Amino acid sequence: MILCSNPSEQFKSYQSEIENAVISVMRGNSYILGEQVKILEREFAEYIGVSSVIGVANGTDAIEIALRALNIGFGDEVITVSHTAVATVAAIEATGASAVLVDVDPKFYTLNPNQLQESLTNKTKAIIAVHLYGQAADLDPIKTFCNLNKIYLIEDASQAHGAKYNNKRLGSIGDIGCFSCYPTKNLGAIGDAGLVTTNNEELASRIRRIREYGWENRVSMQPGRNSRLDELQAAILLIKLKYLDEDNQKRRDIAEFYIDKLSQLPISLPSIRSNGESVFHLFVIQVDDRNSLLSYLKEGGIIAGVHYSLPVHMHPAYKDRVIKSKDMEVTEDIVNKIISLPIYPELSKSDAKKIVNRIDQFYNL
């Protein structure tokens, strides 16, 4: 069976290092926000190119805490996309703010800057640009729009650890960057974890307070919550961070193989920004006969995925609460066509060949 993602294989790649790191933490006497978290925050800051990184419990918390640090809450609006993980919108709602959802562009699946003006109101306080599938949103026009309208730019880089835009790492360009380190991510923990990045020291201080009850010297100076990163996950992430660029290159190599071998089939393949560097968290294609292809792959022992099968504005929990653009044509069209092919650093060349051969057989029956 070839899985769409397979984090256990990455554990096996670095098993001895991870086990030694975990045992070292267990034999110590600090398990929450200790030395491993501090080292991870320092090394990830250096890697991304920011002055501060703050470890939190998960990626959803990273976005919520980022918004709270910007004093965004009840009565405010935050613009983002509907074609994203529900977590992006759930985090906005957790602050009391309203999510305003816009369409994506048809080529890169990221926020369409042309819809920003129509969604702007006097309640708009921020834009969350989701870097989907490992590739950057079109940050230049988005950032220009934010600057002109004096609103904040938050990067949801949960699927884009190590990716670049104009030679800068994602997470270093907006006011705040937010990362999930869920096990399947490019930089994945063995459990939940999240990271927040910023070059603003005042914001960094607020984020650190909010993640732990608003404390300064164990005195609550502002309303906060409990979103602490534990030492075990930090130790694991430190091991994987050493290999992140190497693993991302393996993903790009697999993507290049897919593009080469599938280019002659009636499939819409991923586009790559000329001023960006994707890390291919997912390899997403579009086909007209998705369910048939998914079934054919599964019959051949290949489990592909769909990211995402339902736009957030169509989920029962959100359809009557979110504010959406009048035109969601691209989002509502692609969710019926997209397939995520298996891609992860440990995917063997022989398995990649099986996948492209199976797809070729489907179209040449």
How do residues 140-169 score in pLDDT, each as one tens digit?
999 999 999 999 999 999 999 999 999 999
| pLDDT value, residue 129 | 98
The boundaries of the domain holding residue 175 are 7-242
| 63 and 167 fall within a common domain | yes
Task: Give the total number of structural domains in the chain.
Answer: 2
- Give every CB contact of residue 123 below 8 A, 6+ residues apart in sequence: 75, 76, 77, 98
| pLDDT value, residue 117 | 97
User: Number of helices (H) and strands (E), helices first, in the chain?
Assistant: 13, 15
- Give every CB contact of residue 25 below 8 A, 6+ residues apart in sequence: 31, 36, 231, 232, 235
pLDDT at residue 365 is higher than 90: no
How do residues 29-42 score in pLDDT, each as one tens digit?
999 999 999 999 99
The rounded mean pLDDT for the chain is: 97
Hey, CA dihedral for 92, 94, 98, 99, is it positive or negative? positive
* Domain end among 242, 258, 276: 242
Residues 237-261: what's their mean pLDDT?
Answer: 98
CATH of the domain at 292: 3.90.1150.10
| 105 and 17 fall within a common domain | yes
What is the CB neighbour count within 10 angstroms for residue 132? 26
How do residues 225-243 score in pLDDT, each as one tens digit?
999 999 999 999 999 999 9
CA 47/CA 65 separation, integer angstroms: 22
Judge whether 111 and 129 are in contact, CB under 8 Å: yes
First to last CA, the chain: 22
* Domain end among 242, 273, 302: 242
* Domain end among 219, 242, 265: 242
| 128 and 149 fall within a common domain | yes
Token output for 102: 């816009």
How do residues 117-127 score in pLDDT, each as one tens digit?
999 999 999 99
| 28 and 54 fall within a common domain | yes
Token output for 352: 């990649």
Amino acid at 228: R
| 146 and 22 fall within a common domain | yes
Residue 262: band (very low, low, confident or very high) from pLDDT cuts 50, 70, 90: very high
Cα-based angle 104, 105, 108 (whole degrees, multiple of 5) = 105
How do residues 290-341 score in pLDDT, each as one tens digit?
999 999 999 999 999 999 999 999 999 998 899 999 899 999 999 999 999 9
| 21 and 137 fall within a common domain | yes
DSSP-H helix ranges across the chain: 7-13, 15-26, 35-48, 59-69, 86-94, 116-119, 139-149, 201-210, 231-242, 244-262, 290-299, 329-334, 349-363
Residues 243-254: what's their mean pLDDT?
Answer: 98
Judge whether 109 and 337 are in contact, CB under 8 Å: no
| 125 and 212 fall within a common domain | yes
